[in-house]
Amino acid sequence: EENGSPTSRRIYEEERKKASACLVAECGGENGEIVISRNGKAGGRLECRGLDQHVSTVSSEKTSAILEIAHKVIAFESLNETFPGVRVNVGRIKGGLGPSTTPAVAHFLFDLRWQDEKHYPLLLDEVHKIASNRMQLHSSTHLEILNYRPAMTLNTKTEILLKRLKEAAEGLGQDIITEHRRGTSDGNFFGSVGIPTLDGFGPIGVDDHTPEERIWIPSLKTRTELLALFLLNLKDLEK
């Protein structure tokens, strides 16, 4: 799931054709929030190539893959907030052999996120422009999109589903707080095509994607009760 669901996406796209609703048990927010919409996401890899040489033989016109990629890292990061809700992150860089060698190859992994799906092709166009803008005469760059999830937007069917969830929660003495989450889940594959989708039914989680990532154990019981009663109340749901 974290790397784009490369083997399971096909299954989701088949199953959604006959789905009445999609409920996802990713962790709830710190206050138990239920997720009603999510950003879209694309992950990719950009590789730069230069000319490897020992530094003692390099002329003033050396072609360094690391120097080339450094320009592109800054250009990628400058795309943050170019459209409302757009997030761009370069998260891992690798390149070079050692300090005495001009690096011939370097690459980075990047993450693109957007709230409005219409911004994705515009954002993609910008990253391709950056990739094609050569800062050193003899350098070359290759960009590859490795995974993609469309934005999950709130729709009328989801709002109806949410109303029924609130009714179930009321019977348990629980309040439902909603949120738009900038992260993605497999629910994006359903919500993006209009299937009513609610996410965040799992236990309350904090400090995601850090060494301190954890869940609040008492929430296992309350979240299980909420999901169980909600499923019971959805027996009559029609697509």
Q: What whole-number distance in Å separates Cα of residue 40 and Cα of residue 26?
A: 16
pLDDT tens, 68-98?
Answer: 999 999 999 999 989 888 999 999 999 999 9
Q: What are phi and psi of 171, to 5 degrees?
A: -65, -20
pTM comes to 0.85
Q: Would you say 226 and 168 are in contact if contact means Cβ atoms under 8 Å apart? A: yes
115 pLDDT more than 80: yes
3-class DSSP state of 92: strand
Place of tokens 């937007």: 153
Asked whether residue 60 carries a pLDDT value surpassing 80, the answer given is no
CB 175 within 8 A of CB 162: no
Confidence grade of residue 235 (pLDDT, cut at 50, 70, 90):
confident
Nearest residue to 62 (alpha-carbon basis) of 103, 100, 97 = 103
- For residue range 151-188, list pLDDT tens digits in order: 999 999 999 999 999 999 999 999 999 999 999 999 99
Q: Round the CA-based radius of gyration of the chain to a whole number and report it.
A: 23
